[in-house]
Amino acid sequence: MKTYIVGGAVRDALLGFPVQDRDFVVVGASPEDMLAQGFLPVGKDFPVFLHPKTHEEYALARTERKTAAGYKGFVFHTDAEVTLEQDLIRRDLSINAMAQDDDGNIIDPYGGLQDLKDRIFRHVSMAFCEDPVRILRLARFAARFATPPQDFSVAQETTALMQTMVAAGEVDALVAERVWQEISRGLMEVRPSRMFAVLRSCGALQRLLPEIDALPEAQMQRLMQLIDASAQANLALHLRYAVLLHDLPGKLVDGICQRLKVPAECRDLAIMLAREHLCIKDAASLSAADTVDLLGRCDAYRKPQRFLELLHAAASLYAEPEQPYPPQGILSKALEVVQQVNGGEIASLYTSNPAQIPVAIRAARIAALEAINK
């Protein structure tokens, strides 16, 4: 029985990245052997165990066989006779198919060290094409490892294999939740544009986000610059997602969010930014009435913090580097002013005619804004 650190922990350590989690593979053991040593079983699809002291995950070396479309269509086989090389060959990329033994030695049967040096993403074997999630993972890795001295590139044969997978409909078998999980994680990497470039190069973007893929080239280039800038500014996920979709009509944005089952926080801000960003840009020319109505459409009176986040997202579209964004100040000040209007007091004056309450409150807010603009 031997244990090895495998996958991302080995890769990241070699790249000088902080290692967040370690995955272990156990060779030459059975589930009964693991239980006898105090490991706790947690795996449903194949035997995975928690170390009795560190609670890190240990998986028995396994082979797998494709049985159906999608990323769940696999049958796994574990046996004390399964070798480390057999386990590693089923992994996605050569840089993820390395292992480290207890003495610190690197086991690299599939050229991961050289590909790491050359900064190349290369599939290990034809097993890559059996799991469409690997296309998304590779694209996310491209966004993550976009750091000096140069970006990782995708091997030509791997791009060709991904194109074949897309043409065969494998990407269409992905469930919405998994697509959103990978895209959202990619948006939070250091250079999200690389994820979209990889997805586009193999045709997957046209299947997953055809609305983005259909953008004219100049518009796409500008959008990718903006999404990378949002990453450099360390914006939260819901702001980055809103930036990604801001050029699309609101109905398309809503359709994408429904299709990918996007969380409400991301969906609501994306729809608002797509609908309102041009209006926000022209805030200096809005009348007091138009400003009050903009605040109302964005539900700023009930959710002021979300409106301020909307302004922050809009600022990322139009602000010059290290320069103030005038509409952001104008509209945040306008929100402060209208929040001073006492709606309850106004409502008490119209108890006999409730239909006039919203009209009177709107008029009071307009008057308040006009007063400070004189």
For 258-301, what is each residue's pLDDT tens digit? Answer: 999 999 999 999 999 999 999 999 999 999 999 999 999 999 99
pLDDT tens profile 347-366? 999 888 889 999 999 999 99
Please give the tally of structural domains in the chain: 1
Question: Which residues contribute to the annotated binding site for CTP?
Answer: 8, 11, 91, 137, 140
Whether 179 is covered by a domain: the verdict is no
* Top-confidence residue, 266 or 77: 266
Whether 213 is covered by a domain: the verdict is no
Whether 370 is covered by a domain: the verdict is no
Question: Which residues contribute to the annotated binding site for ATP?
Answer: 8, 11, 91, 137, 140
Largest CA distance in the chain: 84
Whether 202 is covered by a domain: the verdict is no
* Top-confidence residue, 43 or 50: 50
Contact (Cβ atoms closer than 8 angstroms) between residue 117 and residue 88: no
Q: What is the pLDDT of residue 82?
A: 86
Upstream peptide bond of 149 is cis (omega within 30 degrees of 0)? yes
Contact (Cβ atoms closer than 8 angstroms) between residue 143 and residue 190: yes
Mean pLDDT is lowest, of 65-69, 92-96, 291-295, 341-345, for 65-69
- Has residue 67 got a pLDDT over 60? no
Whether 109 is covered by a domain: the verdict is yes
Q: Which domain holds residue 33?
A: 1-120
CATH number of residue 21's parent domain: 3.30.460.10
- Has residue 104 got a pLDDT over 70? yes
Question: Which residues contribute to the annotated binding site?
Answer: 8, 11, 21, 23, 91, 137, 140
Q: Which tokens hold the place of 371?
A: 């007063």
Give the integer Cα–Cα distance in Å for 285 and 300. Answer: 20
Torsion 139-171-22-113 (CA) sign: negative
- Has residue 99 got a pLDDT over 70? yes
Q: What is the pLDDT of residue 32?
A: 87
Q: What is the pLDDT of residue 363?
A: 96
Q: What is the pLDDT of residue 75?
A: 58
Whether 107 is covered by a domain: the verdict is yes
At 272, which amino acid appears? M
Whether 355 is covered by a domain: the verdict is no
Contact (Cβ atoms closer than 8 angstroms) between residue 235 and residue 315: no
Mean pLDDT of 242-270: 96
Whether 113 is covered by a domain: the verdict is yes
At 125, which amino acid appears? S
Q: Mean pLDDT, the chain, as a whole number? A: 91
* Top-confidence residue, 81 or 211: 211
62: confidence class by pLDDT, cuts 50, 70, 90: confident
Question: Which residues contribute to the annotated binding site for Mg(2+)?
Answer: 21, 23
